[in-house]
Amino acid sequence: MPKLVLYKDRCKGCALCTLACPKHLLEISTEINRQGYYVISLAAPGKCNGCGLCAEMCPDMAIEVWR
Amino acid sequence: MKPVFKRPKSLYDVPFHYCPGCHHGIAHRLIAEAIDALGIQERVVAVASIGCSVFLYDYFAVDVLEAPHGRAPAVGTGIKRARPESIVFTYQGDGDLAAIGLAETIHAANRGEQLAVFFINNTIYGMTGGQMAPTTLPGQKTTTTPLGRRVIGEGAPLKMAEMIAALKPPAFVARVAVNNSKSIFQAKKAVQQAFRIQVEGKGYAFVEFLSACPTNWKMTPCEANRHVSEALIPEFPLGIFKGDL
């Protein structure tokens, strides 16, 4: 199963990854990180196929993808 | 398990200081990936400009020099001529490259210097707080054009890629965007080509990135991302103006 590693302290909550995900699995959560931003979360980890488009889009490299 | 996406080696593992949704981070990463792909990290010398990207040396794991405002191509020329074995790139915004540094930019291109110039066009002065840049779109509101930029009076957007492509010596001129996955993959190819041209000693390469500035455009990151495709790309068409991939 593909693995998505979210570096939540790096996330600035810009939500560009939510636009990039072809399955719309990423969303902004209600969790606040050390920088004070609402961070992203993966809604249904089982549905992620590890395409890596979210990580390509993330300006802060807060996402790492393994497959 | 194999990594599908990992941080490139040529970028230090530190957080960027850029605003949420700023495309600088993507452009930095594409350049670092190209450096890794060509295996030239030891030879690269970057020249940073004045603007939001002034702290380039904190992020790139290569040698970096900080040039006076607009003078990055001149400094890059000196580095390349003194150390011909180095691979030199400059990273400049529109206030730097298209305004104060226009003379250096055009003349370095016209001399066909062995440089890769990366131009981040976000149509506004980012660091200084959103003043009009030479690339500001007609009608765009900035702090110095509160009623919108008028073409007669304040000028039309400067099209740098087209201007550079009109010169004879440059080997490669392209305009790319990084607002969706498809554009990012094309941008990645263009950046690699810009470096490859210099590795092969073919001359000057210029890559213009259309970039979002959510803070100074007064938009959310997602709105700014959409604004790139709806307003910027019609004004600044993407493509390769000189050379090929």
Give the per-residue pLDDT at B178: 96
- What is the interface pTM, i.e. ipTM, of the complex? 0.95
In a domain, B168, yes or no: yes
In a domain, B173, yes or no: yes
CB-CB under 8 Å, B3 with A59: no
Residue B123 sits in a domain whose CATH number is: 3.40.50.970
Between A1 and B218, the more confident residue is B218
**How many Å lie between the alpha carbon of B115 and the closest alpha carbon of chain A?**
25
Residue A3 pairs in a beta bridge with A66
Does the predicted TM-score (pTM) go above 0.90? yes
Q: Indicate the residue type of B14.
A: V
Q: Tokens representing A25? A: 């699995």
Residue A1: pLDDT band with limits 50, 70, 90: confident
CB-CB under 8 Å, A61 with B181: no
Sequence-distant (6+) residues with CB within 8 A of B75 are B47, B65, B67, B68, B90
**Parts of chain B with a pLDDT under 50:** none
In a domain, B8, yes or no: no
Residue A66: its H or E element: strand A63-66
Give the per-residue pLDDT at A56: 95
Q: In chain A, where are the structural domains located?
A: 3-66
Tell me which residue range forms the domain holding B57.
24-242
From the number of C-beta atoms within 10 Å of its C-beta (0-12, 13-18, 19+), residue A29 rates as middle
In a domain, B59, yes or no: yes
- Give yes or no for a contact between B8 and B32, defined as CB atoms under 8 angstroms apart: yes
In a domain, B166, yes or no: yes
pLDDT digits (tens, 9 = 90+) for A33-65: 999 999 999 988 889 999 999 999 999 999 999
pLDDT digits (tens, 9 = 90+) for B80-90: 999 999 999 99
Residues of A in contact with B11 (CB under 8 A): 61
Q: Which of B29, B42, B163 is nearest to B91 (CA)?
A: B29
**How many Å lie between the alpha carbon of A16 and the closest alpha carbon of chain B?**
6
Query: What is the CATH number assigned to the segment(s) A3-66?
Result: 3.30.70.20
In a domain, B11, yes or no: no
In a domain, B16, yes or no: no
From the number of C-beta atoms within 10 Å of its C-beta (0-12, 13-18, 19+), residue B7 rates as middle
Q: What is the 3-state secondary structure (H, E, C) of B146-190?
A: CCCCCHHHHCCCCCHHHHHHCCCCCCEEEEEECCCHHHHHHHHHH
Q: Indicate the residue type of A21.
A: C
